[in-house]
Amino acid sequence: METNIHPESIPDYMESGELRTLQLQRLKATVQRCYDNVALFRQRMDERGLKPADVRSLADVAKLPFTQKTDLRDTYPYGLFAVPMKEVVRLHASSGTTGKPIVVGYTRDDLEVWSSVMLRSFVATGMHAGDVLQNAYGYGLFTGGLGAHYGAERLGATVIPISGGNTERQILVMKDFGVTAICCTPSYFIHLIEKVNAGGISFKELGVKVGVFGAEPWTEAMRAYIQRESGIKAFDIYGLTEIIGPGVGIECCEQAGLHIFEDHFLIEIVDPETGEVLPDGQEGELIITTLTKQAFPMIRYRTHDITSIIPERCACGRTIRRISRIRSRSDDMMIIRGVNVFPSQIEAALLSVEEAVPHYQILLTRKGGLDQIEVQVEVTKEMFGDRISELESIQLRLAQAIDHITGLRVPVRLVEPHTIARSEGKAKRVIDNRNQ
Ligand code: ADP
Ligand code: ZN
């Protein structure tokens, strides 16, 4: 257990009963505020004959209607805001993949809370004042950059607001500015490792010790790869624009699940099909209700992210509960010959084969009404010079690994080094050509 607790991280260690009492009090206030100020929430509750006073226990949250991403689009831009615009001091937006963007707002207090959960996130990774953070999350409407920025400043770290992209400059800064910690997407970090190593020095010679990676799904196998190749300790951070941005949850030094800042976010796991609440430990869709947000409160938001609640206490001493690494978004599930497959399963399979490098892409096509899948994996320059029989053997082992994890025989195609696009933000792992 950590002995020197940062004053702002004290809620991480709150006695459970006390935490639940605080959650209930905040939940009641949130529901009341939503009922009073947001037409959609009031209408949905009225349709069910519900009044804010019907929320008497934390379990009563299950009576409340869900909120979907489409509700944000339908009320675009400000329909779900619960305060007058003059109290909104910041807007962010998420591009989403289709249609209109979604817009979220923050009051001054909301920004304080956000900085504070980000500070607590950094503290959980062992970062402290004096660390030099290269913040390579995108700045702008995307929440990643500014979210990490204010949290790290509040911690007293030195923030380098480099934003995403411009890999040459990232490397120069990393070398010259005494960087000890970095934030970006895991896929971009892999690209950075590759570029540094290609420049003739090993990443391990740099002073970077901690990486805080999120905004997209990644696997334990990817963590192992990153830590082995870069010598840093890699932490998983989770968040989403609709709830606050990054800082909903983070791993601690135990690296065994992500602690959720439960004093600000109430979590449930439901069956994604039926919406039924599932018991702790069971995998399902994560539902989040904000407990303190003023400008953009959210009731039972369907994240579409698949995970489970880990009820056991963490060895680090924090009492706030953990969720397991997000396996995937339910929307990313592919149904191939009747079998459900997630990109994360393909990633885990590929990385279980020693020679594989983590640059891969999943190509979906449709032939005669049937979905077809092909996995393209880059080989290294050295491997490319190898004999055909050796490449065939790697290809076979990759296909076997996928078969082992998914139960499917999937064609694997080895492609030349650097043919798969590198991402500066969120990686695009699945290329879906099924409707072409
Ligand atoms: P967008 O919807 O435009 O991608 P967001 O940045 O708000 O905008 O995306 C949030 C989503 O990103 C989450 O719902 C989740 O699917 C994914 N995500 C964020 N952090 C992680 C993480 N650590 N592991 C897996 N997925 C993550
Ligand atoms: Zn912990």
The string of pLDDT tens digits covering residues 235-289 is: 999 999 999 999 999 999 999 999 999 999 999 999 999 999 999 999 999 999 9
Ligand 1 binding pocket mutation candidate from 238, 260, 296 (most atoms within 8 A of CB): 238
Whether the pTM exceeds 0.85: the reply is: yes
Query: Measured in angstroms, how far is the CA atom of residue 229 from the centroid of ligand 1?
Result: 25
Q: Which of the listed residues 330, 352, 385 is the one where a domain comes to its end?
A: 330
214 and 155, same structural domain? yes
In this structure, the residue with its CA closest to atom 8 of ligand 1 is 94
- Specify whether 325 is located in the same domain as 398: no
In tens, the pLDDT along 307-344 reads 999 999 999 999 999 999 998 888 888 888 888 899 99
| Cα of 197 from ligand 2 centre, angstroms | 32
Residues 368 and 413 in one domain: yes
Per the structure, how many domains does the chain have? 2
Residue nearest to ligand 1 atom 25, measured at CA: 217
Sorting pLDDT into bands at 50, 70 and 90, what band is 369? confident
Q: Do 362 and 308 fall within a single domain?
A: no
Among the bound ligands, name the one nearest to the CA of residue 13. Answer: 2
- 48 alpha carbon – ligand 2 mean position (Å): 39
Residues 297 and 392 in one domain: no
Backbone angles phi, psi at 198, to 5 degrees: -70, -20
What is the structure's pLDDT at 2? 55
Residues 320 and 374 occupy one common structural domain: no
What is the CA(259)–ligand 2 centre distance, in A? 7
The answer to the question of residue 83 being in a domain is: no
Q: Which atom of ligand 1 approaches the CA of 258 most closely?
A: 23
Question: Looking at residue 118, what is its pLDDT?
Answer: 98
Report phi then psi at 42, rounded to 5. Answer: -65, -45
pLDDT digits (tens, 9 = 90+) for 378-410: 988 777 776 788 889 999 999 999 999 999 999
Is the same domain home to 141 and 273?
Answer: yes
Closest atom, ligand 1, to C-alpha of 96: 3
Which of 121, 184, 216, 286 best tests ligand 1's pocket when mutated (most atoms within 8 Å of CB)?
216
Mean pLDDT over 100-116 rounds to 95
User: Is residue 26 one of the residues assigned to a domain?
Assistant: no
Sorted by sequence, the CB contacts under 8 Å of residue 125 that are 6+ apart come out as 181, 210, 212, 233, 235, 250, 251, 252, 253
Does one domain contain both 388 and 325? Answer: no
Last residue of a domain, one of 272, 299, 330: 330
**Cβ neighbours of residue 234 closer than 8 Å, sequence gap 6 or more:** 186, 189, 211, 213, 223, 226, 227
Share of the chain above pLDDT 70, in %: 97
Give residue 411's domain range.
Answer: 333-432
66 inside domain: no
In a domain, 46, yes or no: no
Q: What is the pLDDT of residue 328?
A: 84
**Is 63 within the bounds of a domain?**
no
- CA 426, 324, 251: angle at the middle one, nearest 5? 70
Asked if residue 65 is part of any domain, the answer here is no
Residue 95 predicted with pLDDT over 70: no
Residues 168 and 233 in one domain: yes
Domain end, chosen from 330, 357, 378, is at 330
The 3-class SS string of the chain reads: CCCCCCHHHHHHHCCHHHHHHHHHHHHHHHHHHHHHHCHHHHHHHHHCCCCHHHCCCHHHHHHCCCECHHHHHHCCCCCCCCCCHHHCCEEEEECCCCCCCEEEEECHHHHHHHHHHHHHHHHHCCCCCCCEEEECCCCCCCHHHHHHHHHHHHHCCEEECCCCCCHHHHHHHHHHCCCCEEEECHHHHHHHHHHHHHCCCCHHHCCCCEEEEECCCCCHHHHHHHHHHHCCEEEEEEEECCCCEEEEEEECCCCCCEEECCCCEEEEEECCCCCCECCCCCCEEEEEEECCCCCCCCCCEEEEEEECEECCCCCCCCCCCEECCCCEEHHHCEEECCEEECHHHHHHHHHCCCCCCCCEEEEEEEECCEEEEEEEEECCHHHHCCCHHHHHHHHHHHHHHHHHHHCCCCCEEEECCCCCCCCCCCCCCEEECCCC
**Nearest ligand by distance to the CA of 124:** 2
CATH number at residue 382: 3.30.300.30
Q: How far is the CA of 90 from the centre of ligand 2 (A)?
A: 32
Q: In Å, how far are 88, 135, 188, 336 from 427, measured between CA atoms?
A: 32, 18, 8, 22
Shared-domain flag, residues 339 and 317: no
216 and 203 co-located in one domain: yes
Residue 30 included in any domain? no
Centre of ligand 1 to C-alpha 188, Å, is: 15
Cα-to-centroid distance, 422 and ligand 1 (Å): 18
Q: Which atom of ligand 1 is nearest to the CA of 144?
A: 6
- Strand-strand pairing, 132-135 and 158-160: parallel
Nearest Cα residue to atom 20 of ligand 1? 215
CA atoms within 13 A on the CB side of 12: 32
Same domain, 289 and 419: no
Domain containing residue 282: CATH number:
3.40.50.12780
Ligand 1 atom index nearest CA of 142: 6
Q: What pLDDT, on the 0 to 100 scale, is given for residue 294?
A: 98
Residues 6 or more apart whose CB falls under 8 angstroms from that of 318 comprise 12, 13, 124, 252, 259
Ligand 1 neighbours (beta carbon < 6 A):
94-96, 214-217, 236-241, 303, 305, 326, 329
What CA–CA distance (Å, rounded) separates 432 from 427?
14
